[in-house]
Structure 1
Amino acid sequence: ILAAAEQARMMSMTVISLTGDTGGKLKPLTDILLNVPSISTPIIQQGHLCLYHYLCEAVEARLSNG
């Protein structure tokens, strides 16, 4: 994941990351950080699940409105 983020930055791509705790090593390579501030894996996963659903709804709304 870190290598992919580094490559994306070299290609001038926007890096969006979903992380937990403090964002770890990925945080400085990220343009948009969606972080769940917890060290508990189940809590982080639940937070990410909510974010996935929100992002999908936002994309669908954007696509349907032209």
Structure 2
Amino acid sequence: MAEKILKKKWKGTKVKRGSGLVGYERRKAIKADRKRQAEEDREILDEMKRNKREYHEKKKSGKKK
């Protein structure tokens, strides 16, 4: 198996040209949009976790009194 892989010639990196470029740019834009949305969602979740933690700490400190 390894011999077959080693026999194959290295083709180098592919350069996007023509109609393939349009699809590539579209997929790239979709990926960037998903990443941006994930970052926004992560910020919201972090804020919710922080609020939950503060609430429980406040509730816990109130019981000790």
Please indicate the TM-score interval, normalised by the length of the shorter structure: 0.3 to 0.5
With the length of structure 1 as denominator, give the TM-score of the two structures. Answer: 0.41
Higher helix share: 2
Larger relative contact order (C-alpha < 8 A, sep ≥ 6)?
A: 1
Higher strand share: 1
